[in-house]
A and B are shown apart, each in its own frame.
Chain A
Amino acid sequence: DTGVSQNPRHKITKRGQNVTFRCDPISEHNRLYWYRQTLGQGPEFLTYFQNEAQLEKSRLLSDRFSAERPKGSFSTLEIQRTEQGDSAMYLCASSWRRGDRGRGATNEKLFFGSGTQLSVL
């Protein structure tokens, strides 16, 4: 399978625990995005990387959240001291983007994984 892979598919945790999700993008893609989605809502942007550089973070990404993409390939999203409000689907997407930031977005298509469903009890 050459699509975007996310693990685990489901995660159940108790409030206060830390969780980490992994995203493996399509291999030649240089951009990687994280989104969060709650029931009945569209996906909400969290952050994105170009190669290993984190270029933008949403205000939704509190200090309990951290994302890394250490070698410009896979990425991890960690949530510390989880709260019940963190329960959501966490989606990862990747894309190939030509050129520097601010250029070349004209034909960028995002490919999404199936997400990790987090339930905080």
Chain B
Amino acid sequence: DAKTTQPPSMDCAEGRAANLPCNHSTISGNEYVYWYRQIHSQGPQYIIHGLKNNETNEMASLIITEDRKSSTLILPHATLRDTAVYYCIVRVGWGGSEKLVFGKGTKLTVNP
């Protein structure tokens, strides 16, 4: 079972920041937070991941709370092509099953 909780859907205006929340209250010390997204009719695409520090790359920023029980994915300037299902996943980094377990994700719709 997925160990994360996400809202089923969100809307965002084109050009604005999209902030996608994720709760992972049972996360363990050796589990990482990963974000993937899936555009219609394609396989999931890796976005970003982190352990406890905030992370930024060319696609997005990941903000993880100090207690690590929740995180937020930020798309700073959403475009229409960012419309997709976004999956937040906690994954063991070592010492256990290493598969990614997907939940239902958040369907983000970017509106013009």
Contact = CB atoms under 8 A, between A and B. Distances in A.
A113 interface: yes
A102 B94 contact: yes
Interface stretch (A11-19, A72-80, A103-111): A103-111
B99 A42 contact: no
Given A42-B2, A42-B87, A114-B41, A109 B46 contact: yes
A96 to B, nearest CB: 12
A43 B97 contact: no
Interface in A47-63: 48, 56
Interface in B65-93: 85, 87, 91-93
A113 B41 CA distance: 11
A43 B46 contact: no
A40 to B, nearest CB: 7
The main secondary structure of chain B at its interface with chain A is loop
Given A42-B105, A45-B100, A106-B32, A112 B95 contact: no
Given A42-B2, A43-B102, A102 B95 contact: yes
A112 B46 CA distance: 9
B44 to A, nearest CB: 5
B1 to A, nearest CB: 11
Interface of A: 4, 33, 35, 40-45, 48, 56, 91, 93, 101-106, 108-115
